[in-house]
Structure 1
């Protein structure tokens, strides 16, 4: 159990964190609540209009008015001023996904308070990214197979039964809500969980390992890992949980998954046998996962399928470093700020691969940069296979200066650190050719579905650089 010394350390940790990573203010939470209410009003009006056009009886329309709810960090109660809101539109069977991504997305774009709106209907988990009144929103859509009573929608979707006959993409979107709800139910103390998670999320961002898309861990994975530590040590204070977090996951046997509860086999659930549940014994693809962290809601999925051998190595190094520094904090040899000191990416490496993403308009830039970022993991895997070299992806996008290239007013740079070491197979006379890996990556990028519609409006540059030749927009940061 926590002793007086631990309670003092935990308070110091909270004070440190509040100065650099403050929780959202009451005013900020009110603004967020207002945005959610406006989204729900728009969604309700849009759905009612579609139902009327479909000549549905009034009773059916009343039943069909479902709702907008939240998931992710907002639902878990870990909100800071810069965080976005993961939001889910729960729709009745009469509303089609195609309508949501066309007519509703168009209404959002035309709303006077919306400054950005990018529908991505072809993503693995389809999403509309938008900014309303300065708040960033990730909007998901789930279409129910049966319409529940509107006021019961949130309770109904917590039950596995609701998934029967739902389409796969809707199940994926709905499970974001169901997973967040189950995490809160499965931890012994929600406030201790939140305090610990806030620290870990801030630490992960500062150390450059917070990015599911690039192959590190995303928000849901960090939440699951913290929740498991809370389960294992139910009476510990946050500082003790952070110590155990780093120690346990550095030493973890990653041939075994991290789980919060037993994985339910769909064969045991009538009407659910079509669902694919994470199972390395029966699914060859699941055996390839290198750091499995499994979601608790049925059907259980691996939240870390993007992790590669490279990002696993980096994560394990960071867990080891974190544990050593937390021990130093406990021994009064270091401060909490030392634990989450930023990873000195551009000082750490002598060689880099630079990827610049350029566009002639903000709309094309948002779409093309999202596409490139979503495929960066493929480049990492291609480069992993190059003998003599290790790589270190940086998940950040660095905005190009507005006074740069007049032909390309919108752009960003992304970077990979390159390390040539004997441990990686490098020899003095070894020729290291990056072209096959880069060519394979370029072929993937050029398969962009919007390529033909935006000819001449986007460009990607790849260049190998020495540290001395890095552009000013990263060295001046």
Structure 2
């Protein structure tokens, strides 16, 4: 009988086996072994080999320590089934390489993988960049300074697949030694071979690589391709660099290369992403039939962003022949299952104070959706071949509209993609999800909320729903989460909510986990079958289906919707309307309002969507509930405002909004409408929608809520208990004669164990004695909290 280590490496590296279909049974603390997907197991990591008890493939045990079973060679389970896509004679087979600290760069083909159930939609972020070698004009382009800047830009781009052109030995050496490359990326070729030196082409993939190949187009010109494995199936990603006009008969040679390129692509079955420097601004369907330009698909045919601009970039001015800007670098898509989403240009501004650009070309980044979820369900990857191929629900980065008023401090975005701090949080969120899925293989880990939809503002929490088979032992879940996330701090159980959960902090990312027991329903299908569960569990799981229903509703206008919802949420944040515990609207409510606006607007240009949003909701008859899709009139409403959840169990997510809150919302919608209209009448102006409201004019007095840390209790627990009852305090204040009371949702003082909130009491506030009576009754059972009446001239908040 062979050892578990021998069997592991046999499965991992023998091309006849598919590692993604294997599971290891590993001894852990608890009643039974943990089931760990083989690709997620780390040899030499925290789990020693002797704790591997058995190995399964396709549900069949092929190796078992206790019985001596070893059927890995005689069983057909776990065998590769799919044929190559990069076939001869179109491609010469190559070998991808990965870094291993023990053996260095080694061949690393990952055989084909399968998914369980319908293919899930995933997002694949691709980047192409001509990085400017110094074979020409080397004394004028400052290569030594540019290369480290390039490596930092590539790392921050957080791309799944990177296609580089004009790579030479010095840059290749820097990439091979970069920690972020070694830890996460495979190369599309042998780094010790001559492929990169001959053509300057290099592909790097963070996704598992099933195969690699190369086709020579001419002297020093080629197509380098890899087939990457996604949860939605394999995708071929090919990079190329065609002849420029600097070469003799450059245009004629390029025409020949394009004809051959079209023939080569015709020999590839399935979805293809072709990217690179085409050195031709006229690439289109007539030149390469069947391919669509991702940039035009995402931004419209009128957006002709230049990727080579000698008027702006001094490096481009060195080598230009015409002096004109051109769009030479492109991402092209083939296949109905590929859809272009977010796009961005990288390196289009100087990277140093003295004006040095990273390259003469700009990098092009595109977020490509692969596949779709035919069930309309949660889109979760049920089985993935590598822990790096995780659900990218929280990494959707659609383009920010050009007329957006959002500053980077709120959006955390630049050119439609996250700024440095927010990029770090996105990578961190991905790492958290990946580690939780590896540590809890029997649990369905769903990203929900704004990160699932793609509407998260800077600093947003990571909200997760964990569907746990059977019943929940929250302490056991906490223990396993702590092991999976050893750097997490402030881990605490939340047991007072409708569904228990955990809250924690990983570096600068707040993480909220709702833990849902699925009883006899398998965790992987619990979202679709949530009606079979208790109401609280069904409501928690509907956070997944609600988000997906919103995205399905906006469909082809998703990019416009996401731009609008980020604008709206930033406006609501600035005006203090965004916190449900303080009587405001939760994130889902703003999302439904924005989605309904986009659905009702038809083909209205995205530049007019914000005006339409304010106009629609300022004039809405709030006796009628708001639904994602228009429904029959309904004026029988027991509450001031009803915004209904998109999926079952359908319920109002705005029951906490009182009459005063409704009236305030209507005033704010009108104010926003007026500002947008006024700005539209002045060419080049933008609406000043992020200005704080005139609080001193609205409120003649204030109730200051102070929360002090209670001895022996975490301050977050004390604060959470008080925040959970603020809506009740607002109700009491309304009954006491302050119908227009408004609690500002962010503390104006927070430190040294003291947190203070300001609650405006309106134009005709109750007197201090009446406020004291209300506060005394409300404060019962809230140690550490106090309420003080403050006159308007001592306003604790500005303006």
Alignment correspondent of 2:460: 83
Q: What SS is found at the alignment partner of 2:717? A: helix
- Given the alignment of the two structures, is residue 180 of structure 1 paired with residue 180 of structure 2, yes or no? no
CA offsets per residue over residues 128-163 of structure 1, 9 Å max, x none? 221113211111122224444x7xx2xx3453xx12
Q: What SS is found at the alignment partner of 1:14? A: coil
- Given the alignment of the two structures, is residue 122 of structure 1 paired with residue 122 of structure 2, yes or no? no
Matched residues in 2 for 1:4 and 1:248: separation? 29
Judged with a 3 Å threshold, the aligned counterparts in structure 2 of structure 1 residues 92 and 125 are, in CA distance, closer, same or farther, namely closer
Whichever structure has more strand as a proportion of its residues is 2
Contact map agreement 1:142 1:173 (CA 8 A) in 2: yes
CA offsets per residue over residues 163-194 of structure 1, 9 Å max, x none? 24312221111011110011111114111110
CA offsets per residue over residues 60-84 of structure 1, 9 Å max, x none? xxxxx13211011011012343111
Alignment correspondent of 1:412: 755
Matched residues in 2 for 1:389 and 1:167: separation? 36
User: Normalising by the residue count of structure 1, what TM-score does the alignment of the two structures yield?
Assistant: 0.75
Pairs within 5 Å for 1:42-441: 42-44=439-441, 65-93=442-470, 96-97=471-472, 99-100=473-474, 102-108=475-481, 112-148=486-522, 153=524, 156-159=525-528, 162-188=529-555, 189-261=557-629, 287-332=637-682, 335-336=685-686, 338-345=688-695, 348-360=698-710, 364-387=714-737, 390-402=740-752, 410-421=753-764, 433-441=770-778
Judged with a 3 Å threshold, the aligned counterparts in structure 2 of structure 1 residues 340 and 103 are, in CA distance, closer, same or farther, namely same
Matched residues in 2 for 1:467 and 1:343: separation? 15
Q: What SS is found at the alignment partner of 2:498? A: coil
Matched residues in 2 for 1:115 and 1:262: separation? 45
Alignment correspondent of 1:461: 786
Judged with a 3 Å threshold, the aligned counterparts in structure 2 of structure 1 residues 236 and 461 are, in CA distance, closer, same or farther, namely same
Whichever structure has more helix as a proportion of its residues is 1
User: Normalising by the residue count of structure 2, what TM-score does the alignment of the two structures yield?
Assistant: 0.46
Q: What SS is found at the alignment partner of 1:412? A: strand
Contact map agreement 1:66 1:90 (CA 8 A) in 2: yes
Contact map agreement 2:675 2:687 (CA 8 A) in 1: no
CA offsets per residue over residues 253-300 of structure 1, 9 Å max, x none? 111111124789xxxxxxxxxxxxxx996xxxxx42211011111121
Query: Which runs of 5 or more residues in structure 1 are unaligned?
Result: 45-64, 265-278, 282-286, 403-409, 449-457
Contact map agreement 1:325 1:334 (CA 8 A) in 2: no
Judged with a 3 Å threshold, the aligned counterparts in structure 2 of structure 1 residues 243 and 4 are, in CA distance, closer, same or farther, namely farther
Matched residues in 1 for 2:501 and 2:686: separation? 36
Query: Which runs of 5 or more residues in structure 2 are unaligned?
Result: 1-298, 303-399
Q: What SS is found at the alignment partner of 1:295? A: coil
Judged with a 3 Å threshold, the aligned counterparts in structure 2 of structure 1 residues 168 and 344 are, in CA distance, closer, same or farther, namely same
Contact map agreement 1:72 1:180 (CA 8 A) in 2: yes
Matched residues in 2 for 1:466 and 1:4: separation? 58
Matched residues in 1 for 2:590 and 2:732: separation? 26
Matched residues in 1 for 2:479 and 2:756: separation? 30
Matched residues in 2 for 1:238 and 1:146: separation? 46
Judged with a 3 Å threshold, the aligned counterparts in structure 2 of structure 1 residues 332 and 157 are, in CA distance, closer, same or farther, namely farther
Q: Which moved more, 1:381-390 or 1:132-141?
A: 381-390
Contact map agreement 2:704 2:789 (CA 8 A) in 1: yes
- Given the alignment of the two structures, is residue 38 of structure 1 paired with residue 435 of structure 2, yes or no? yes
Q: What SS is found at the alignment partner of 1:419? A: coil
Contact map agreement 2:410 2:570 (CA 8 A) in 1: no
Matched residues in 2 for 1:347 and 1:135: separation? 36
Alignment correspondent of 2:84: none
Matched residues in 2 for 1:346 and 1:157: separation? 49
Give 1:333 shift: 7.4
CA offsets per residue over residues 218-276 of structure 1, 9 Å max, x none? 10000000011111113123331211111111111111111124789xxxxxxxxxxxx
CA offsets per residue over residues 361-388 of structure 1, 9 Å max, x none? 6952111111111111111111112237
Q: What SS is found at the alignment partner of 1:187? A: helix
Contact map agreement 1:70 1:86 (CA 8 A) in 2: yes
Contact map agreement 2:425 2:508 (CA 8 A) in 1: no
Report the structure number with the largest CA radius of gyration.
2
